[in-house]
């Protein structure tokens, strides 16, 4: 490494975020940029450890450890320290089609497995990654890369989320004619409508990549639902191969009393409508608005955080985020050793914003909802909450049990269910008659991605279940490689 003692000389630093009370007034990204010298110092903290777990990309205790797409992290950290930004970009693009997405929305399992993180704050890998690609766009280094020749093979990619975009770009660069089908009115899938604009800017970040892909020859057909606007049989006859990247979009419900009341919504319905209204300049006005309302978000993951941040920007009256799990410790627990993902307490951007306005982290732990209360006109007016404790049942499984005497009623005119997803929607899979696994996902082995139907491949959340964007990148690239091998008899794709 260029600076062998960098990890001793420099402390971990991140760019400042915009003040919470200011950024909730708009929908712009909330991260500031760091100057070049500071970035080079942060790159110098990469310690030439010799065992860089940061890019191993494996699963430990059911969670990602290291980078699932095997980013060449130590290499581009060193290149940044030496000021070789364009060379760093080349290393970054070798493994990652869209570092501008992961540099913003990935939870950075690479940092959780950084060797320096054993006894010091880890290297700021995610921020360096984002800084490399942002500088590359500013300098004009990112250009369309159409293939030198075409194979004549036609491939349909169903879904334009992270897995679909990676599969499409890789297959197109192999020379195939790629058409991406997207049922929404804009391409991007989860990246477009599942993640709010302040976390991932749509016009500046997402759509510029879509434009690059179109310039490379990829065709996007939006507002086109396979199985409805085009039959699966027509798809199979018109294309030499099909790659399913539909995601796992079936939300987990909460079937308690009052579930059908007005004002109780799935999180993705809320987030999708909000982003669409924002991109449409609110011309249609048909989005779920949290303004002036007492909001309850049920679910403590990233989607729940995005609901919190969106509600804060609407100007909600109050906000509570309900989490059924216990509050994480401040430091790694003994049963959560490095290089596992650190399950420690932190406030994400949404909780920071709620705390800045309402005075405290909005999350209540070891709590669940028991009933949604009717105002007499079919609208939700309150949520009945109760504290729970986890204990083993007669099968040895941990299950939540209500704690007597802890019931309370809190006002709510808007309830957002953000409790995760149960798998892919089934109509398209049923029309293709593709085999599914016991969890209702498309049955296809990781590394092969071949389904029970010849020439049909599957990648991303529709195959593996709800997961990280970076795992979708891994699968989209892998499915493209195996699809290319099927079409050509060999493949040069990584």
d(CA 382, CA 257): 12
Check whether 2 has a pLDDT greater than 80. Answer: no
- Asked if the structure places residue 342 within a domain, the reply is yes
Q: How would you class 70 by CB atoms within 10 Å of its CB: exposed for 0-12, middle for 13-18, buried for 19 or more?
A: middle
Looking at 378, 402, 419, the residue that finishes a domain is: 419
**Kind of pairing, strands 456-458 and 414-417?**
unpaired
Which residue in 143, 229, 159 sits closest to 194, CA to CA?
A: 159
- Asked if the structure places residue 147 within a domain, the reply is no
Q: What is the pLDDT of residues 394-442, one digit of tens each?
A: 888 999 999 999 999 999 999 999 999 999 999 999 999 999 999 999 9
Q: Are residues 158 and 259 in the same domain?
A: no
Q: Are residues 262 and 400 in the same domain?
A: yes
Looking at 96, 116, 139, the residue that finishes a domain is: 139
Q: Are residues 374 and 237 in the same domain?
A: no
Give 62's pLDDT tier (boundaries 50, 70, 90).
Answer: confident
Check whether 283 has a pLDDT greater than 80. Answer: no
Q: How would you class 311 by CB atoms within 10 Å of its CB: exposed for 0-12, middle for 13-18, buried for 19 or more?
A: buried
Q: Are residues 389 and 289 in the same domain?
A: yes
Report how many domains make up the chain: 3
Q: How many CA atoms lie within 13 A of 477 on its CB side?
A: 18
Q: Are residues 295 and 391 in the same domain?
A: yes
Q: Are residues 264 and 351 in the same domain?
A: yes
Q: Are residues 358 and 341 in the same domain?
A: yes
Confidence (pLDDT) at 286: 82
- Asked if the structure places residue 241 within a domain, the reply is yes
pTM: 0.95
Q: Are residues 285 and 369 in the same domain?
A: yes
CATH of residue 39's domain is 1.10.1060.10
Q: What is the pLDDT of residues 80-124, one digit of tens each?
A: 999 999 999 999 999 999 999 999 999 999 999 999 999 999 999
Give 48's pLDDT tier (boundaries 50, 70, 90).
Answer: confident
Q: What is the pLDDT of residues 347-387, one digit of tens each?
A: 999 999 999 999 999 999 999 999 999 999 999 999 999 99
Q: Are residues 238 and 266 in the same domain?
A: no
- Asked if the structure places residue 145 within a domain, the reply is no
Q: Are residues 276 and 386 in the same domain?
A: yes
Looking at 139, 172, 187, the residue that finishes a domain is: 139
Query: Which segments of 280-328 does DSSP mark as H helices, in order?
Result: 302-314
Mean pLDDT check: name the lowest of 6-20, 277-291, 386-400. 277-291
Which whole number is the average pLDDT over 133-151? 97
Q: What share of the chain is helix, strand, coil (3-state, %, to 5)?
A: 35, 20, 45
The residue range of the domain holding 44 is: 6-139
Q: Are residues 438 and 391 in the same domain?
A: no
């Amino acid at each position: 490494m260029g600076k062998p003692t960098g990890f001793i000389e420099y402390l971990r630093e991140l760019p400042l975020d915009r003040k919470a009370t200011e950024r909730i007034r708009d929908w712009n990204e909330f991260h500031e940029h760091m100057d070049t010298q500071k970035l080079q110092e942060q790159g110098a903290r990469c310690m030439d450890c010799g065992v860089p777990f940061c890019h191993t990309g494996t699963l430990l205790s059911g969670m990602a450890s290291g980078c699932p797409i095997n980013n060449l992290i130590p290499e581009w950290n060193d290149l940044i320290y030496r000021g070789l930004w364009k060379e760093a970009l080349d290393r970054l693009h070798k493994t990652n089609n869209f570092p501008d997405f992961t540099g913003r929305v990935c939870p950075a399992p690479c940092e959780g497995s950084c060797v320096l993180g054993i006894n010091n704050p880890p290297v700021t890998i995610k921020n360096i990654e984002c800084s490399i690609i942002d500088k590359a766009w500013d300098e004009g280094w990112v250009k369309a890369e159409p293939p030198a020749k075409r194979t004549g093979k036609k491939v349909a990619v169903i879904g334009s989320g992270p897995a679909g975009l990676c599969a499409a770009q890789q297959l197109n660069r192999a020379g195939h004619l790629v058409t991406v089908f997207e049922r929404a009115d804009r391409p991007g899938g989860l990246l477009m409508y599942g993640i709010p604009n302040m976390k991932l800017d749509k016009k500046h970040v997402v759509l510029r990549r879509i434009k690059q892909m179109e310039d490379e020859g990829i065709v996007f057909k939006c507002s086109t639902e396979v199985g409805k606007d085009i039959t699966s049989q027509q798809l199979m006859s018109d294309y030499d191969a099909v790659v399913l990247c539909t995601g796992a979009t079936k939300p987990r419900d909460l079937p308690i009393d009052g579930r059908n009341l007005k004002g109780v919504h799935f999180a993705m319905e809320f987030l999708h409508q909000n982003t669409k209204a924002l991109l449409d300049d609110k011309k249609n006005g048909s989005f779920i608005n949290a303004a002036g309302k007492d909001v309850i978000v049920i679910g403590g993951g990233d989607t729940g955080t995005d609901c919190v941040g969106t509600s804060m920007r609407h100007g909600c009256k109050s906000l509570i985020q309900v989490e059924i799990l216990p509050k994480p410790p401040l430091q790694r627990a003994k049963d959560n050793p490095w290089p596992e993902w650190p399950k420690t307490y932190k406030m994400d951007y949404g909780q920071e914003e709620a705390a800045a306005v309402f005075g405290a982290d909005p999350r209540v732990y070891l709590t669940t909802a028991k009933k949604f209360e009717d105002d007499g006109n079919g609208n939700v007016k309150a949520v009945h909450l109760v504290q729970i404790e986890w204990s083993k049942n007669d099968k040895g499984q941990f299950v939540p049990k209500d704690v007597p005497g802890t019931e309370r009623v809190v006002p709510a005119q808007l309830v957002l269910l953000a409790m995760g997803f149960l798998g892919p929607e089934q109509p398209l899979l049923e029309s293709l008659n593709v085999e599914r696994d016991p969890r209702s996902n498309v049955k296809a082995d990781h590394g092969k991605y071949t389904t029970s139907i010849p020439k049909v491949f599957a990648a991303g959340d529709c195959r593996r279940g709800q997961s990280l964007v970076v795992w979708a990148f891994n699968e989209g690239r892998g499915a493209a490689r195996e699809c290319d091998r099927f079409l050509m008899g060999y493949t040069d794709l990584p």
